[in-house]
Amino acid sequence: MIRLAKAMPRPPCSATLATILLAFAGAAGCQSLTERVTSEPGPSVETLYPELTWNFRLTSADALPPDAAIPLNDQYQVLEIRDPGTWHRMCQALNLRDVDESPDFSRGIVVGLTATLGDPVSHRWPLRIDHLKRSGSLGSVALRVAEGLYNPTCGSPYCVLTYAPGISRLAIVRVNHRVFYLE
């Protein structure tokens, strides 16, 4: 089964909207607006910051196990590695020798992103995982591609991976200001 991603347009700036609503509520004498918004029950969302990340260049995008890669567009693929077998195939395909042991896949998954970019002129690593969010067993990941100048020729794709405890499936992937919803 192939999972697909849908790109959604960037929403309007929520900070500006929230400022306008709070100013309007204050002018109208409505002081319980903030209390009502914050006290409504709903699923809890926990923000996680990656403790360990793996950064590497792919020799070929074809080296990725097909059951782990979900294409977002022509430039990006999100990776979900859910079991030790896929992790082992990934390590072999990428020639990762410095990974001592397999992550605990009974408690989470490994998530990441591949990006086909030109080489950064700054020679700095261009990908970073900002944070993960977890609600139940569903998760989202926010990634950042460094701004700056890139050489126009695309070399081998860049890849970043991290362990996502408590997450069994990604639902949302954010790359800079672009949001992708996974089916």
Q: Are residues 35 and 101 in the same domain?
A: no
Predicted pLDDT of residue 38: 42
Whether residue 23 is found in the same domain as residue 65: no
Q: For residue 158, list its beta bridge partners.
A: 57, 115
Question: 58 phi and psi, to 5 degrees?
Answer: -85, 145
Strand partners, 171: none
Number of structural domains the chain divides into: 2
CB neighbour class for 2 (10 Å; exposed up to 12, middle 13-18, buried from 19): exposed
159 and 174 in a single domain? The answer is yes
Do residues 26 and 105 both lie within one domain?
Answer: no
Residue 3 maps to a domain:
no
What pLDDT was estimated at residue 15? 41
Please, which residues bridge with residue 48 across strands?
132
Residues 27, 99: one domain?
no
pLDDT (tens, 9 = 90+) of the chain, 183 residues, equals 445 555 554 444 444 333 333 333 333 333 333 333 344 556 788 998 888 888 988 876 667 888 899 999 999 999 999 999 999 888 887 777 766 678 899 999 999 999 998 889 998 999 999 999 999 999 999 999 999 898 887 788 899 999 999 999 999 999 999 999 998
- Please tell me the predicted confidence (pLDDT) of residue 30: 35
**Domain of 35?**
12-41
In a domain, 1, yes or no: no
CB 56 within 8 A of CB 159: yes
Alpha carbon separation from 183 to 6, 7, 72, 80 (Å, rounded)? 8, 11, 11, 13
| Residue 20 sits in the same domain as residue 86 | no
Q: Are residues 70 and 128 in the same domain?
A: yes
- For residue 5, the model assigns a pLDDT of 59
Counting runs of H as helices and runs of E as strands, what totals does the chain give? 3, 13
Q: Do 87 and 56 sit in the same domain of this protein?
A: yes
SS3 74: coil
Judge if 76 and 26 occupy the same domain.
no
Is residue 84 packed enough to be buried (19+ CB in 10 Å), middle (13-18) or exposed (0-12)? middle
Task: Give yes or no: residues 62 and 132 share one domain.
Answer: yes
Contacts of 181 (CB under 8 A, 6+ apart): 5, 6, 8, 171, 172
Residues 63 and 93 reside in one and the same domain? yes
